Structure 1
Amino acid sequence: MKFTSLVPLTFLALTGASPCSQGPSDSTVTITPEQIIAIAPKSESCDGAVDFVSECGTAEQAAPAVSEAFTKYGLTNKAEQAAVLGLMAMESGEFRYNKNHWPEPGTVGKGTRNMQSVDFNKLYAASILEIADEFAKVQDQPGPVLDLLLQDPVLDYGSGAWFLTTQCNETVRSGLQNNGEEGWKAFITGCVVTEADEARRGYWSSAVTALGA
């Protein structure tokens, strides 16, 4: 799937907490491979992958990494989880890509399973204490910054949770939790800043069903 959706470079308002303040949550989140497959059917295997095969991730790989990331960022609300998983499935071509390739030749440094912009990846990497020393060496090099994030599956699959919990304001998050499709549309148009089209809606709707949100 050669998707062309773009996450904008525009910096969005923080919720008031520093990204660095994110720490382990007391509430453990478990996302199963079966739920991932229900949202992104291609993630059942990488057998059909034909390009950039090394980037392909299966549901078996994605589920524990997503679960750990949701736990880390305290993303326990199922409606918010569905919004993040739907976005990730769309942006990553159902978890087959974690680097931007289209339109060709792609944007160096844009990626993770949330297909974040270079600027957001720099913010994301800067928020992670475990990679602080390595990040300091490459912080002005978009490609190496992305490569640093891709070394750890939890960081790769965790960008969506980080984005929602640090780059979207409380109105957006409250909308996701309480306002159904209208809340999802506000998340896509007001925080991700892209079109809430039918393709995106399809992934979100599948995620809502899979998670029972």
Structure 2
Amino acid sequence: MLLFALLFLAAASLSTASPVCSRSTQTFNLTTPVLLTISPSTSSCTSAPFPAECATASTAAPFLSSSFQRYGITTPGETAALLSLILFESGDLQYNRNHFPGVPGQGTRNMQSPTFNALYADSLVTAGRLTSSDVQTAKAAGVGPVLDLLLKEGNEDLDFGSAAWFLSSQCSADVRSGLKSGSEAGWEVYLTECVGTTVTDDRKTGWTNAIAALGA
């Protein structure tokens, strides 16, 4: 009887134990192979038109993973949306400045507008990542110097962190909920209502590849 009671208690304990963190809520540790699966061309910067701006998958993956953790990007759907946006806007990680047509001050890996780069810089002051004096000096000099500050050598984590910051601070809870669902409709709302761009076949291909690679 004692043995039976002990076994029963053990079984009950297992059945009520908290589950291991599920895929729908975990923070993704983006790896180089996964990024290469989504965008094979990120394996090399050999033919990059602006070599100083180009980053390979092996360089980008750790910075992107850190940014997802920092800004609370915890689902495959959100992760896929951000990766597809970054890869599209940066030409598969070849650029972090707008060259076509060449909008001054527009850049970082998701090609943020100068207005959002200024807001991003302010948030980094609050987070202790940049100094207030550096940001104010850059702002006083114009939109170009603000972008220069974000892209300064040694600030690669800031460059790769902009897309996650934008989603976490500029998109509504409804938009994020749509992304978390992993649905195409949710992704389209993110692009049109938060990012402020249109859905194209090229963007959809990138998103579809990211969804498949992440198993969303």
Following TM superposition, by how much is the alpha carbon of 1:193 offset from its aligned partner in structure 2, in angstroms?
1.2
CA drift at 1:53: 1.6
Aligned residue number for residue 209 of structure 1: 212
- Trace 1:176-187 onto structure 2 (pairs within 5 A): 176-178=179-181, 180-187=183-190
Which digits, 9 at most, give the CA deviation of each residue in 1:101-138, with x for residues without a partner?
Answer: 002xx011100000000001000011002213311211
Q: Which has the higher contact order (CA 8 A, sep 6+)?
A: 1
- Does residue 107 (structure 1) correspond to residue 103 (structure 2)? The answer is yes
- Residue 198 (1) aligns with residue 201 (2): yes
Q: CA deviation at 1:153?
A: 1.2
Write the distance in 2 (CA, Å) between the matches of 1:175 and 1:29: 18
Amino-acid identity (%): 46
Q: How much has 1:29 moved relative to structure 2?
A: 3.8
Kindly indicate whether the alpha-carbon contact (under 8 Å) linking 1:79 and 1:177 is maintained by their aligned counterparts in 2: yes
Q: What's the offset of the Cα at 1:79?
A: 0.5
What 5-or-longer segments of structure 1 have no aligned partner? 1-26
2:81 alignment partner, one of 76, 80, 83: 83
Give the structure-2-normalised TM-score: 0.82
- Mapped contact 1:121–1:146 kept (Cα < 8 A): yes
Paired position in structure 1 for 2:51: 53
CA distance in structure 2 between the aligned counterparts of 1:91 and 1:40, rounded to whole angstroms: 13
Match of 1:166 in 2: 169
1:182 partner letter: A
| Deviation sequence 1:78-103 (CA, Å, 0-9, x none) | 10010000000000000000000002
Output the TM-score relative to the length of structure 1: 0.83
The equivalent residue for 2:159 is 156
What is the aligned partner in structure 1 of residue 18 from structure 2?
A: none
> How many residues are matched?
184
1:146 equivalent in structure 2 = 147
**Cα distance, 1:179 vs structure 2:** 5.5
Distance 1:58 1:64, change over 3 A: same
User: 2:134: which partner in 1?
Assistant: 134
RMSD: 1.2
1:48 to partner: Cα distance: 2.1
Equivalent residues of 2:105, 2:147 under 8 A apart: yes
Q: Which amino acid aligns with 2:92?
A: E
Question: Counterparts of 2:33 and 2:97 in 1: how far apart (Å)?
Answer: 25
Counterpart AA for 2:185: E
Counterpart in 2 of 1:37? 36
Q: Is the 8 A contact 2:27 2:73 kept in 1?
A: no
